[in-house]
Amino acid sequence: MLKEKDILDERKSKILRQKSNEVTFPMKEEDISLINEMIMYLRLSQDEEYAEKNNIRAGMGLSAVQLGKLKRFFVISYKKEDGTFEEYKVVNPKIVSNSTELIYVEEGEGCLSVNRYVEGIVPRYARVTVEYYDEFGNKKEVRVREEIAVAFQHEIDHLNGILFLDRIDKKDPYKNKDNMRSI
């Protein structure tokens, strides 16, 4: 079972700044198992009682590189209001289209690999269409919006060696805020 200590910290790990490698199919059994562990970790992290008891932060996305594996895959587990989860297992993703509308997370974007608050806004597309494969090599396409779109873009950035804080303007952390919608 994954533990928070397994997630690399941006201050200590250079691997987070490297571009991840395409995955070939069939995927290794150990990678498929890791994907399932990543999903379970995210589900549990969103259970307030479990998270508090085990002293872990809530997360909705996790990429392989955050676990020290330079492989182009990530998972998203988003707990909906009804308590069910919207989940994605994403391998070799490519954004094929995006909205012109930009959004940002009002309370600030966070990351399981950045253990501190970072002031500023991260411009993201409000909607993106992503082509990817599941862990069995089946080609998929999904159009996501709002929080899920932010999560997809955040995790794809990880696969390209980019952290969310790189997208915040250092001189003006709230640059162009009035030209975007907060979520």
Catalytic residues: 155
* Residue environment code for 2-19, b if the CB has 16+ CB neighbours within 10 A, otherwise e: beeeebbebeeeeebeee
Whole-angstrom Cα distance, residue 34 to residue 17?
21
Structural tokens at position 127 = 């909607």
Structural tokens at position 25 = 């199919």
